[in-house]
Amino acid sequence: MEFLEVLKRRRTTNGPFLPDPVSAEHQRVLVEAAAMAPSHFNSQPWRFVLVDDREKIEEVASISGESMTRLMEEGTFWKRYRPYFRFSEKEMEERRDGIFIDQMPSVLKPFRKQIFSNTGQAVMNRFGVPKTLGEDNRKLVAGSPLLLAVLLDKAEYRPGELSGFYSVFGMGAAVENIWLTTTELGMGIQFVSTPMEILENWDRIHRLLEVPDDLELMAVYRLGYVPEDQRRPTIDWSSRQRKRLSQYVFRNSCATPEQDPEGR
């Protein structure tokens, strides 16, 4: 694939993967692509754990599903992420970021109007919506042939210091390399983020992966080959919407937004 085509096609896969294992060669290509990323003083502060052990994947899946149910039941998800939801096409068209509320999982659609209110929360709980979403999440993770944990060397990752910032920056570049490479290999990738939202569940993942004291666990992803026809999953928080140039690029100083190309 042409490089710019890969950039355009890269996306978050929120649906199921094929059950086929990720070949050893592709696993190697992914982590070698990661290592080509830039890092401060070539420190290469990233570490990766490739998880293809079925039992471990099932365990992470259970923790992820449970976390999703709890975040939805307790309303934490909505409180934490409300600013990212857009409520009309007009707002979406103006801001061109975030997630259009219409994109929400079908089980949530009936509650669209009250989703951020206490009443809406109570109704959703009564209808068992959090459990449905949790189970869907568990199945998606369990059905993934490969998980990838991303860690940082704590000698470099020192939050609050420049080195901490640099190592996160480098890690982002490494993860983007992996993300782009999945596109080239016919694979998909998605954050398994719910466990990190609940401290004790994140601790369970640490124990499962036997993370040593000198490493910081930063993220877990699920990966696999994508089927030809990708149906929209119940949980799809991703959005292809992008800001106009004038909303994020400036010319010579922050006072002059870049002009948008004509017709955009």
Ligand X SMILES: Cc1cc2nc3c(=O)[nH]c(=O)nc-3n(C[C@H](O)[C@H](O)[C@H](O)COP(=O)(O)O)c2cc1C
- Collapse the DSSP code of 221 into the 3-class scheme (helix H, G, I; strand E, B; otherwise coil) and give the result: strand
Tokens in use for 15? 């649906």
Least separation in angstroms between residue 236's CB and ligand X is 8
Q: Is 11 in the site for ligand X (CB under 6 A)?
A: yes
Tokens in use for 204? 């369970």
Least separation in angstroms between residue 262's CB and ligand X is 25
The interface with ligand X within residues 120-139 (CB under 6 A) comprises: none
**Sign (positive/negative) of CA torsion 165, 80, 101, 127?**
positive
A 10 A CB-CB count for 55 gives 8
Q: Is 191 in the site for ligand X (CB under 6 A)?
A: yes
Tokens in use for 168? 């996160």
User: Closest CB to ligand X among 88 and 238?
Assistant: 238
Q: List phi, psi (to 5°) of 40.
A: -65, 130
User: Closest CB to ligand X among 39 and 67?
Assistant: 67
Contacting residue, 14, 137, 177, 183, with ligand X by CB under 6 A? 14
What are the beta bridge partners of residue 99?
85
Q: How far, in whole angstroms, is CA 191 from its chain's centroid?
A: 3
User: Closest CB to ligand X among 79 and 251?
Assistant: 79
Q: Is 23 in the site for ligand X (CB under 6 A)?
A: no
Helix (H) or strand (E) holding 27: helix 24-35
User: Closest CB to ligand X among 74 and 197?
Assistant: 197
DSSP string over 64-104: HHHHHHHHHHTTHHHHHHGGGEE-SHHHHHHH--SEEGGGS
Helix (H) or strand (E) holding 217: strand 215-225
Q: Is 12 in the site for ligand X (CB under 6 A)?
A: yes
Residue facing ligand X at closest CB distance: 193
Least separation in angstroms between residue 176's CB and ligand X is 9
Which one, of 25, 35, 65, lies nearest residue 192 by Cα? 65
User: Closest CB to ligand X among 69 and 190?
Assistant: 190
Contacting residue, 43, 193, 230, 246, with ligand X by CB under 6 A? 193
Least separation in angstroms between residue 169's CB and ligand X is 13
Contacting residue, 64, 69, 132, 190, with ligand X by CB under 6 A? 190
The interface with ligand X within residues 216-255 (CB under 6 A) comprises: 237-240
Residues within the interface to ligand X (CB under 6 A): 11-12, 14, 190-191, 193, 237-240
